[in-house]
Amino acid sequence: MGGEGGGDSGDSVIHFVFVHGASHGAWCWYKLTTLLDAAGFKSTTVDLTGAGINLTDSNTVFDPDHYNFPLFSLLSDLPPHHKVILVGHSMGGGSVTAALCKFPDKISMAVYLAAYMVQPGSASSTHNSPMHLGEEDIWEYIYGEGVNETPTGVIMKEQFIRHRYYSQSPLEDVTLASKLLRPAPVRAFLGFDKLSANPAAEKIPRVCIKTAKDNQFSMLRQDRMVENWPPSQVYVLEESDHSPFFSVPTTLFIYLLRAISFLQS
C-alpha cells in the first residue's frame, strides 16, 4: 500500500484512493498525491497483488478478487460512514468497478481515468479495454504454466513503452517508470467482464476523464465506453497521453476538484 497524507480519517476530509493500471503501481501517482496532500486532502495509493512493491509473483494471480485484494482490504478497513473518492487508471477501471459492486457503501464517487469502464453484468469484451492484447505485437507474454496454456503474465515490450504510455510525459518520468513496470496478471483481467449486475453500484456517481493524445487507449474506444455506460460527468484532458499523472498532473488535479465539487453542492 502506498502513502497517505493530508488530514485525519474524519468525514470532513475528502479522501481519494488511487488504483493503478496494468504493470504500474502506487508509485505512478506521486505527482498527483503531492498536489492533493498540499491542498489539504487525504490521499491513499494502493499496490494491487503482484504490482509495485507487492511481493506476489503476478504469474500466480489468476482471479480478479486475488488481484484486487489489497484494494478490498483497504475499503473494508475504513471507519464506519467513511467514504472515499475512488480513482482508477487504465485497467484499474476494472478494479474500481469490482469495488463498486463489493463496497458501494464505502464509495461516494468513482473516477475512471483513461480507464476500462464497463457496466457490471454487461458482459462487455476486453477488446474495448485499454489493454487489448490482440491489436499488434507490442506485448511480451509469460507462460507460467506452459506455452500451450493461457499466458499468466504480460508486459509491454520496451521499445513501445514511450510511445504507447508516455508520449507527452517528461523523459525523467519515462525513465523511472521503465524501471518499475512489472508483468500484469492476464487471467485476473479476463475476470473483469464477469461481474454481476449490482443496482447499488449503479447509484454511485461516476466520472470519466478522457485523454485526447492517448496512443494506447484511443478516443474512439474511450467514447464507446461512455456511450455504453454513460457517467454523470465527462472531462477531456486535451494534452494528455495515456498517463496523465505524469503528463498533465496539475490539470488532472484541477479536473478532480471540479468533479468532486458536484458532491459538495
Catalytic annotation, pick one of 90, 124, 129, 169: 90
Q: Note if 223 is an active site residue.
A: no
Q: How many CA atoms lie within 13 A of 265 on its CB side?
A: 6
Catalytic annotation, pick one of 173, 193, 214, 241: 214
Q: How far apart are CA 16 and CA 13, in angstroms?
A: 10
Q: Dihedrals φ, ψ of 94, to 5°?
A: -65, -40
Catalytic annotation, pick one of 58, 242, 243, 247: 242
Q: Note if 90 is an active site residue.
A: yes
Q: Note if 261 is an active site residue.
A: no
What is the length of the chain? 265
Specify the pairing of strand 42-46 against strand 84-89. Answer: unpaired
**50, 47, 75: which is closest to 62 by C-alpha?**
50
Helices (H), the chain: 30-38, 64-67, 69-76, 92-102, 158-165, 171-180, 186-190, 199-202, 219-228, 244-247, 249-264
Active-site residue list: 90, 214, 242
